[in-house]
Amino acid sequence: MTEAIVKKEISSNIARISSEGASYVDVRFYIDDSSETLVLYDGDLEANDTTVQSGIGVRVLWDGAWGFAASSDPSGLEACFDNAAMNARTASRLVKVPLSMGKCDAVKGSYTTPVEIDPFTISLKDKLSFLSRMDNDLKEDFVIKRIVYAIFHKMKIHFQNSEGSEINKDLVSVFGTMIAMALDSDGEMQRRSMSLYSTGNGTAGWEMMTNPELFSGHATRVKSELSELIKAEPLEYGRRSVILQPGQGHLQVHETIGHPLELDRILGYELSYAGGSFVNLDSFGKLRYGSDKLSVSSYGSIENSPGSFGFDDDGTPERDYLLIDRGILVNALTSRAMVNEANNKAGRKIFQQSGGAARATSFYRAPIDRMTNVNILPGNDGTEEDIIASTEDGIVVDNPVSWSIGSNREHFHFGCEIAWEVKNGKKTRILRNPTYQGHTLEFYASLSAVGDESTWKVEQVNNCGKGEPNQVMQIGHGVPVIKFDDVITGERK
């Protein structure tokens, strides 16, 4: 069946199921969903995995209940719609809180990831020789393990719903990571790594990997930092300032701002799996989440990020809006149905419209609320050097090695790859095994410096997991260098 015929059949089936009594129907037709993962261990090819899939996911809302069905067989389209409708009708008999999508105008649009070189046009041979060169750059006598990997992903998706919306998306994302490991003087394994990032601007294709600033030029630095790390003293326990580089800051934001602000989580839909949120419906407009220096946005259309997709899986166009405005919580990461449920529960209109956060990982999974690009906005405290210069006693940390987060995201403990000691405004020596911990709200209240645009990077996340059954999602976080004061660091002996 050609693409055009499938699209036509989708339209007629949406009309049919709507006329039978569905209050809302939508369809995501994944014309192509391909990925390629290449992993080198110590220069040897450890994995060369490719996936190619296509299919259709149908959602039907009937008397306040969702039904979902999916098929990879285009000739089974009609049955797929019937299954989704039957599932919804069955579920509607048990509904306690009826769901509603509200009313929205039809949306016609398209979104294409800006790409200079489609990574799928680069031959396997060329990709492997590039990765081998990267691996070679990490080689040194003291390095006992080297890992270099790359992941390429592309999706061509057609969306239609019963409101007349029609959206086409062509998405490409590229991930790259290099890791070098060595033993320290206590025989403990230390690692230093670097992952491909973007400035938020520019194109998101193969050219990112070969860009020395964004990825390929960092091997020498990674190696030399590791050589110092294995000779370094461990960080001693104590309260001090902690300066997070974006390599660490993005995970801080992801775990303690992104996840707790997903509205389905706030409404209790994730309690059986990854947990809840300390945020509740009364928090919006009131809760002081952090100091005046903390402003956080959600934006699913940053020019260059794996969390950019233009329109979410409810068909909502992405907009740039604030979640936290100068320290005050003002909005959440939302989908249409969750916005309606939250407003009904609260008996007032907390949320004016969907934040465009309904996303599914594939055609055979139904969309759930999940963070788009959640970003800390750049501040007025200058460069990283300026922030260090204004720090009496602290550490600069980068890249996570361990994380542990309370089920309601109210507290956390992170271990990082590396720390640089800061004394009286100067970076002094490297310290190993740095950790820091805190209570989310107290921690963000202690945010005392936010770096300017020059420190802001979009870090990429290729494996955020959520939902039952699990859905793995790709996103980005734009984060500047950020400083927190009086933080518990290191481990008490």
What phi, psi does 260 have (nearest 5°)? -65, -15
CB of 253 to Zn ion, least distance (A): 11
Distance, in Å, from the CA atom of 184 to the CA atom of 327, rounded to the nearest integer, reads: 41
Determine the Cα angle at 193 with ends 190 and 197, to 5°.
Answer: 160
Minimum CB distance to Zn ion, residue 466 (Å): 6
Nearest residue to Zn ion by CB is 464
Cβ at position 254, least distance to Zn ion in Å = 6
Which residues is 35 bridged to in the sheet? 51, 153
* Site residues for Zn ion per CB under 5 A: 464
> Least separation, in Å, of the C-beta of 184 and Zn ion?
30
Q: Which two tokens stand for residue 381?
A: 């405290």
Instruction: Return d(Cα 401, Cα 416) in angstroms, integer.
Output: 5
273 or 321: whose CB is closer to Zn ion?
A: 273
Sign of CA dihedral 373, 376, 382, 385: negative
| Cβ closest to Zn ion, residue 327 vs residue 367 | 367
Question: CB–CB of 283/135 below 8 Å?
Answer: no
Quote the least distance from Cβ 409 to Zn ion, whole Å: 11
Q: Name the 3-class secondary structure at 426.
A: strand
Cβ at position 464, least distance to Zn ion in Å: 3
Decide whether 101 or 464 has the Cβ nearer to Zn ion.
464
Cβ distance to Zn ion smaller for residue 179 or 464: 464
How many Cβ atoms sit within 10 Å of the Cβ of residue 286?
A: 9
Name the residue nearer to Zn ion (CB basis): 57 or 467: 467
* Helix/strand/coil for 346: helix
Both tokens of residue 394? Answer: 């602290």
- Asked if residue 414 lies in contact with residue 252, where contact means CB atoms within 8 angstroms, the answer is yes
Of 422 and 464, CB closest to Zn ion: 464
Residue 327 to residue 294: CA distance in whole angstroms? 5
Closest CA to 458 of 155, 119, 202, 259: 202
> In this structure, what are the phi and psi dihedrals at residue 297, rounded to the nearest 5 degrees?
-120, 160
Strand ranges (E), 113-161: 145-161
> CA-to-CA distance for 284 and 480, rounded, in angstroms?
25
- Kindly state the smallest distance separating residue 463's Cβ from Zn ion, in Å: 8
Our CB check for Zn ion shows the closer of 127 and 466 to be 466
Pick the closer one to Zn ion by CB: 328 or 464: 464
CA-to-CA separations, 416 to 129, 197, 402, 434, in angstroms, rounded = 31, 18, 7, 6
Q: Which two tokens stand for residue 268?
A: 């209790």
State the minimum distance, in angstroms, from the CB of residue 279 to Zn ion: 16
Rounded to a whole number of angstroms, the minimum distance from the CB of residue 467 to Zn ion is 11
Output the CA torsion 373→255→333→456 (10° steps).
-30
Shortest reach from residue 181's CB to Zn ion, in Å: 25
Least distance from C-beta 168 to Zn ion, angstroms? Answer: 28
Residue 352's φ and ψ, nearest 5 degrees, are -80, -30
Are the C-beta atoms of residues 180 and 167 closer than 8 Å to each other?
no
| Closer by beta carbon to Zn ion, 337 or else 464 | 464
Closest CA to 366 of 152, 114, 84: 84
| Nearer residue to Zn ion within complex by CB, 29 or 197 | 197
Select 302 or 464, whichever has its Cβ closest to Zn ion. Answer: 464
